[in-house]
Amino acid sequence: MPTFPAAVDSRLPGVGTTIFTVMSALAQQCGAINLSQGYPDFNAEDVLFERVAHWMRAGANQYAPMAGVLPLRAAIAAKLTDLYGTDYDADTEITVTAGATQGLFTAIAALVRPGDEVIVFEPVYDSYVPAITLQGGTVRRVTLRAPDYRPVWDEVAALIGPRTRMIIINSPHNPTATIWSAADMAELARLTRDSGIVVLSDEVYEHIVFDGERHQSVARLPELAVRSVIVSSFGKTYHVTGWKVGYVAAPAALMAEFRKVHQFNVFTVNTPVQFALADYMADARRYLGLGDFYQAKRDRFRDALAGSRFELLPSRGTYFQLARFGALSDASDKAFVEWLTREVGVAAIPVSAFFDDGRDEGVIRFCFAKSEDTLDAACERLCRL
């Protein structure tokens, strides 16, 4: 192919390939155990696949309604009421999306105008900032500091001004594995009171919370729920990240704006999978049991690494575990994970990738959404160091 006959004026000049893609590709190339990109290495239950096959054979293979099939929207609304106490109207306040990533992008595209300011918390999940930039929004950053990565609310307050359009939050938090408390949510409510600020709440790990703690959804606080767009992902909850199905819940006026963009972005999402997920959601134990399921993996992983030279930070939710490697190396975190992947055969994510300025605190992220055999084999290698 001849080259494009002009200079390409990039909309995202500073952006390369995501660290998740880079590390998974390196892991594959090296035959390393892949604890980098966040996805399970085990399968979902057969019954879920049976439901998809059922709906395909039953003819559910054409376009679903733009907002998603009604049984799935109704199941999502019922779950939100049961767990968090806020009623969402399945007709006007829930939309099924092509994963959380599309939900986040579409919400930002629908609600952020050029010149608007959007507050994010760093380390920050990698899709938020490019989405804001593409809309001409200005990113304002609050730094979460190791080892506990708590938000400092005075710093948030100092960034809020007349141009603040949106605050993006994410609890349980990727990559730090921290969770926000009820007091944090109350602070957020207080700081946004009487403003037009929209809270975009990335709750993809809502069911993966440990040690008896509760997930603090924005939907628990009516005052926050009225200004919030909630984004979640079936990929995380049902071990099917490759299906790319998620949902967005928001008050009708915000959802109307969301759908204006959604209909021209993806229009709608895989029909038989939506019906299958609606059937599967009928048994609440399938998502309610997720915290215990992953807590057992977290504990196995942490116990196995207790004798290693990694310093493990707390993991209170998500399926991630942060570790300091300062006792092993004074390399940069990027160089360290490359060495770990190539020479030790275990891939991880450098946390500097979640900072705009590449801040390197000598911390890496492991994903423990893996079978016991995978975790044991990885820990055996990591403990040799």
Give the CB-nearest residue to ligand PMP: 99
Pick what 270 binds: ligand GLN, ligand PMP, none; C-beta below 5 to 8 Å, kind-dependent. none
Closer residue to ligand GLN in complex, CB, 90/347: 347
Nearest CA to 334 among 348, 319, 320?
348
Pick what 95 binds: ligand GLN, ligand PMP, none; C-beta below 5 to 8 Å, kind-dependent. none
Kindly tell me which residue out of 174, 176, 178, 308 binds ligand PMP, with binding defined by CB under 6 A.
174
Alpha-carbon gap, residue 193 to 203, rounded angstroms: 21
Amino acid letter for position 197: I
What region, left, alpha or beta, does residue 304 occupy, with left being phi > 0 and alpha being psi -120 to 50 degrees?
A: alpha
Site string for ligand GLN, 171-200 (x = CB under 6 A): ---x--------------------------
Long-range contacts of 60-66 (CB under 8 A, 24+ apart): 60/271, 60/272, 60/275, 61/271, 61/272, 62/271, 63/267, 63/268, 63/271, 64/96, 64/268, 64/269, 64/270, 64/271, 64/274, 65/268, 66/259, 66/262, 66/263, 66/267, 66/268
Query: What residues between 320 and 359 interact with ligand PMP by CB under 6 A?
Result: none
233 binds ligand PMP (CB under 6 A): yes
100 binds ligand PMP (CB under 6 A): yes
Kindly tell me which residue out of 125, 180, 210, 354 binds ligand PMP, with binding defined by CB under 6 A.
125
Nearest CA to 70 among 277, 251, 314, 264?
277
Quickly tell me which residue has 């190339």 as its tokens.
Answer: 29
Pick what 170 binds: ligand PMP, ligand GLN, none; C-beta below 5 to 8 Å, kind-dependent. ligand PMP
38 binds ligand GLN (CB under 6 A): yes
Where does the chain have alpha helices with state H?
19-30, 46-57, 70-84, 99-111, 128-134, 153-159, 182-192, 222-225, 234-237, 252-265, 271-281, 285-288, 290-305, 333-339, 372-383
Site string for ligand PMP, 25-54 (x = CB under 6 A): -------------x----------------
Pick what 236 binds: ligand GLN, ligand PMP, none; C-beta below 5 to 8 Å, kind-dependent. ligand PMP
Closer residue to ligand GLN in complex, CB, 37/308: 37
Specify the stretch interacting with ligand PMP by CB under 6 A; choose among 86-94, 212-220, 238-246, 281-289: 238-246
202 binds ligand PMP (CB under 6 A): yes
Q: Give the number of other CB atoms < 10 A from CB of residue 163.
A: 12
Closer residue to ligand PMP in complex, CB, 67/120: 120
Contact in structure between 19 and 338 (CB atoms under 8 Å): no
Distance in Å, CB of 196 to ligand GLN, minimum: 30
What region, left, alpha or beta, does residue 136 occupy, with left being phi > 0 and alpha being psi -120 to 50 degrees?
A: left
Longest dimension (CA), the chain: 59
Pick what 272 binds: ligand GLN, ligand PMP, none; C-beta below 5 to 8 Å, kind-dependent. none
Structure token pair of residue 121:
């918390």
Kindly tell me which residue out of 37, 133, 216, 217 binds ligand GLN, with binding defined by CB under 6 A.
37
Closer residue to ligand GLN in complex, CB, 51/297: 297
What region, left, alpha or beta, does residue 280 occupy, with left being phi > 0 and alpha being psi -120 to 50 degrees?
A: alpha
Counting beta carbons within 10 angstroms of the beta carbon of residue 325, is it exposed (0 to 12), middle (13 to 18) or buried (19 or more)?
A: buried
Distance in Å, CB of 98 to ligand PMP, minimum: 8
Pick what 20 binds: ligand PMP, ligand GLN, none; C-beta below 5 to 8 Å, kind-dependent. ligand GLN
Closer residue to ligand GLN in complex, CB, 37/321: 37
C-alpha separations of 340 from 23, 190, 326 in Å: 11, 44, 14
Distance in Å, CB of 251 to ligand GLN, minimum: 27
Alpha-carbon gap, residue 106 to 103, rounded angstroms: 5
Closer residue to ligand PMP in complex, CB, 328/347: 347
Distance in Å, CB of 96 to ligand PMP, minimum: 12
Site for ligand GLN, rule CB under 6 A: 18, 20, 37-38, 174
Contact residues toward ligand PMP (CB under 6 A) are 38, 99-101, 125, 170, 174, 202, 204, 233, 235-236, 241, 244, 246
